[in-house]
């Protein structure tokens, strides 16, 4: 099956500043993928490379099996909602839909009209006078109504208030369920993704730290608490992601497909947030060690 986004040794530099270095990942289709990472991890760069707004400095990127934005057909396959959800401020909502119809051969006027109605947007209102939430909804409508196979959203809710954020994500999920479109959505807020994503990619330090379905990841990660132990020898089928020691207590975040049988450990299930934070920390520590020790990910 072709991947939604597949990269190999992808590099993007702006002058001397490296935004993405040697990034290799494969994001499958058929999921709502959350791309999460700290600010400056290269999320926006990766997504803009995927929709063809940026060209790679080196390496490969394929989206649905084609080069990004290589021709109008490829552009039609991918919908994009950019960060801050830009629109044309002097054009009305209705003008935006008309533009969408003119610029996209697969335009679904019915879907667009219905969404605008449901959102109670005034078709005659200029986009510049819409609230941030309404503008984001308009941008999402444009991206949805072109009937793409993949929709890419770059921090679409970052600037919205909590209510608008929830409404946006709800309408995104409703559309996704109806249209069977793959979604890749970035955010630095795990809570946003937790509600909607079934697949998680953690990008830190321009490397993929973690990638998999949310169900798998939550089932194979465990938070263990027990009396203090020396951090030397753990069972060989454990992959220790994070360890913390106090005078009396040791806390571990481990990845293991086998159940934890040792009764000395109190086992808790992990939340997505725990997971993301732990793996983001991994990216940072790898960076500090700069390759002199193999990180846990590579040991697996």
Partner 1 sequence: MSWLTWRQFRSQVWVAVTVVAVLAVVFAITGVQLHHLADASGYPGCISAGLCHNFISAVKTNGLYPFLYNTGLMMLYVLPALIGIFWGAPLLARDLEAGSYRMLWTQSITRSRWLTVKLLLVGAASMITAGLLSLIVTWWSAPIDAAGGLQMGAFRLDTLQFGSRGIAPVGYAALAFTLGAAIGLLTRRALAAMAITFALFLAIQIITPIWIRPHFQAPVTATTAIAGPNFNIEITGDQQMRALAQQSPVGAWILSDEDVDSTGKVIYLRATDACLQRSPEACQDYVLGLHVSEKITYQPADRFWPFQTYETGIFLLVSLGLIGFSSWRVRRIN
Binding site for partner 1 (CB under 8 A): 14, 48, 51-55, 69, 71-73, 75-76, 78-80, 82, 84, 86-91, 95, 98-100, 102-106, 139, 142-143, 146
Q: Is 293 in a helix, a strand, or coil?
A: coil
Q: In the bound complex, what is the minimum distance in angstroms from residue 98's beta carbon to partner 1?
A: 7
280: Cβ contacts below 8 Å, ≥ 6 apart: 36, 37, 38, 202, 204, 209
Q: In the bound complex, what is the minimum distance in angstroms from residue 179's beta carbon to partner 1?
A: 17
Q: In the bound complex, what is the minimum distance in angstroms from residue 149's beta carbon to partner 1?
A: 12
Residue nearer to partner 1 on the CB measure, 76 or 173: 76
Q: In the bound complex, what is the minimum distance in angstroms from residue 138's beta carbon to partner 1?
A: 10
Q: Is 108 exposed, middle or buried (0-12, 13-18, 19+ CB in 10 A)?
A: middle
Q: In the bound complex, what is the minimum distance in angstroms from residue 128's beta carbon to partner 1?
A: 10
Contact between 64 and 4 (Cβ < 8 Å): yes
Residue nearer to partner 1 on the CB measure, 95 or 243: 95
Residue nearer to partner 1 on the CB measure, 103 or 177: 103
| Tokens of residue 169, six digits | 């994500």
254 phi, psi to nearest 5 deg: -125, 160
Q: In the bound complex, what is the minimum distance in angstroms from residue 38's beta carbon to partner 1?
A: 22
How many Å apart are CA 78 and CA 95, to the nearest integer?
A: 21
Contact between 283 and 241 (Cβ < 8 Å): no
Q: Is 3 exposed, middle or buried (0-12, 13-18, 19+ CB in 10 A)?
A: middle
Contact between 92 and 125 (Cβ < 8 Å): yes
Residue nearer to partner 1 on the CB measure, 148 or 296: 148
Residue nearer to partner 1 on the CB measure, 30 or 128: 128
Residue nearer to partner 1 on the CB measure, 80 or 279: 80
Contact between 151 and 143 (Cβ < 8 Å): yes
| Tokens of residue 39, six digits | 């600010």
């Amino acid at each position: 099956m072709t991947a939604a986004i597949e990269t190999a040794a992808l590099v993007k530099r702006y002058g001397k500043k490296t935004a993405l270095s040697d990034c290799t990942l494969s994001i499958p289709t058929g999921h709502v993928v959350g791309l999460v990472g700290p600010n400056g991890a290269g999320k926006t760069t990766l997504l803009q490379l995927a929709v063809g707004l940026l060209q790679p400095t080196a390496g490969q990127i394929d989206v649905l099996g084609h080069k990004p934005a290589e021709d109008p057909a490829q552009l039609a396959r991918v919908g994009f909602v950019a960060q801050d959800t830009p629109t044309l401020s002097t054009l009305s909502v209705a003008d935006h839909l008309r533009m969408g119809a003119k610029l996209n051969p697969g335009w679904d006027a019915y879907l667009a009209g219905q969404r605008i109605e449901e959102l109670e947007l005034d078709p005659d209102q200029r986009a510049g006078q819409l609230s941030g939430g309404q503008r984001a909804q308009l941008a999402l409508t444009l991206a949805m109504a072109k009937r793409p196979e993949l929709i890419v959203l770059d921090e679409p809710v970052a600037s919205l208030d909590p209510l608008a954020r929830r409404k946006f994500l709800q309408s995104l999920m409703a559309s996704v369920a109806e249209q069977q479109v793959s979604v890749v959505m970035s955010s630095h807020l795990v809570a946003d993704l937790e509600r909607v994503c079934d697949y998680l990619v953690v990008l830190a330090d321009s490397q993929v730290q973690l990638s998999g379905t949310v169900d798998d990841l939550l089932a194979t990660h465990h938070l263990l608490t027990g009396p203090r132990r020396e951090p030397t020898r753990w069972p060989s089928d454990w992959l220790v992601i994070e360890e913390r020691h106090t005078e009396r207590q040791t806390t571990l975040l481990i990845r293991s497909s086998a159940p934890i049988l040792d009764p000395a450990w109190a086992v808790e299930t992990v939340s997505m947030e725990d997971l993301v934070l732990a793996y983001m920390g991994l990216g940072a520590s790898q960076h500090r060690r700069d390759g002199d020790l193999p990180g846990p990910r590579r040991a697996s």
